[in-house]
Structure 1
Amino acid sequence: MTFGSSLLAAIPGLRHAFFTREGGISKGVYQGLNGGLGSNDDPASVAENRRRMAEQMGVAPERLLSAHQIHSPDVVVVTGPWRGDKPRADALVTRTEGIAIGVTAADCGPILFADASARVIGAAHAGWKGALTGVLESTIDAMENLGADRCGIVAAIGPLIRQHSYEVGSEFVERFLDADAGNAVFFIPSTRAGHAMFDLAGFIRMRLENAGVLMIDDIGVDTYSDERFYSYRRSVHRNEPDYGRHVHAIALASE
């Protein structure tokens, strides 16, 4: 039902999971473990799916927290369950035990962070826009504000759309080249004229390394071609009305 990072798994007192579709009760296009509160799935099914994920993370359902994601570089420091509406952000960090912080994704990059010595964790939702505008760097900065040291941070890149599945247009390429001509290395030609294939995972790794995080574990799974995962792009290509979302989470176990 989950994938894990060997680097994160080696840290005592830490739980994490990159959840697949397996083990849930949703039906139809959401078949499986849909954790997307923003989807049009039956809310009761989503709630039960998230309860099951919380149980695996070792927390109560109300302590499995995710934000209202907006493809931004914005980060929220978590100290307890939300009071009122969820914050609008794309990364969460905490040093509070017994809380699972997570991001939802269905092709975008989920990145889980941990500093074992400082006991500080983070979770970031890095689609192309968030990665380009600094969500990874914002997450690392916020972790350091809680006492982490970027040299001691482990980062795990979870299931996301991989280069062989990620065709983009010329305007997309130009946006990245305008930001930094060196970003050309993350594109290879597509079979379609005027298009290219984008390496989101490679771009994320580069941004992490440039920010000083060098202990990086890439799970290496492609959400588009692997039916165990939800994929926004696959749903579009199949003309499906909606798609499920994964929750990928990390938690400091209560001592």
Structure 2
Amino acid sequence: MLEILTTDFFQRALLGGLLIGITAPLMGMFLVLRRLSMIGDTLSHVAIAGVALGFILGVYPIAMGLVFAIIASFAIERLRKAYKSYAELSLAIIMSGGIGLASILFTSGKGMQMNVSSYLFGYIYTLNKMDLIVIAIVTIVVLVAIGTQFKKLFLITFDEEAAAVSGLPVSFYNVMISVLTALVISVSIKIVGALLVSALLVIPAASSLLVARSFKQAIVLAVLIGEIAVVGGLSVAGIWNLAPGGTIVLLLIAMLLILLTVRKGFRLSK
């Protein structure tokens, strides 16, 4: 059973997972602290509509999903401005539209050969060279963007009003965070699936915030937790023939529960 760990498709899956294990928790940290945890679910449902259209048009599905997710990220920011006191409405509205459009497109393409389940629940073992190239490009874009704009993003994340007063183009950075998130989600849906991708964004951030003592430390821990979950989840799924996306998510939840227990025990011992 261990032979699967040395196969080409597993090596491709591991590489793709390691790259997403960096970018998803990294973006997730900004989203959690800005109370936008549900944006992952919203953009993933819109992206799956793009995937469906890609199948119908005979276009690379992930590319079409990426386009849809980016458009949705702009729409979310527009609606957030319209509903300043009810910002979460923007997520609900866009997600509803994404689900509705996806259902229509999948129904329209019923006669076509669509591998829907691999995009809904993820199937990382089907990653090909094109997928890895796209994932690598997105990883580089995210790391460069966050690395060069870290201080400004930090200020906007913790105090948007102060950032605006200091002269920072808050709208630009809000859109930037949404677009980067859209990129990460679009390339993640084949790894953990549209229905589970939010977990890879949110749970590592939630886990790291339990024990981290600074923002930078929280980011490092979130990425570390994401990588452990990807490598461990893929290995367990490969050896015991389990669904890789679901295994990764359950491992993330297990680590969160362990940290919660350890933290509670530490407090009781004081």
TM score, norm. by length of structure 2? 0.29
Specify which structure has the higher proportion of helix.
2
Q: Bigger relative contact order, structure 1 or 2, given CA contacts below 8 A and separation 6+?
A: 2
TM-score normalized by the length of structure 1: 0.30
